[in-house]
Amino acid sequence: MITVENESIVKKKREAAFHAADMVEDGMVIGLGTGSTVSCVIHRLREFVEHGLHFTAVPTSFQTEILARRNGIRLVTLDEVEELDLAIDGADQVDRNGCMLKGRGGAHTREKCVASVAKRLVIVVTEEKLRESLNGSVPVEVIPFAYGSVRNVVQMMGGNAVLRESGGKDGPVISDNGNFILDCDLGVIDDPYRLEVSLDTIPGVAGNGIFSRYSKKTTLVVGKEKKIEVISF
**Residues acting as catalytic residues:** 111
Among 139, 138, 185, which residue's Cα sits nearest to residue 159? 185
Determine how many CB atoms are found less than 10 A away from the CB of residue 3. Answer: 5
Spell out the long-range contacts of 152-159 with Cβ–Cβ below 8 A and sequence spacing 24 or more: 153/202, 154/182, 154/184, 154/186, 154/199, 154/202, 157/186, 157/198, 158/186, 158/187, 159/184, 159/185, 159/186, 159/187
Helices and strands of the chain, counted as H and E runs: 6, 14
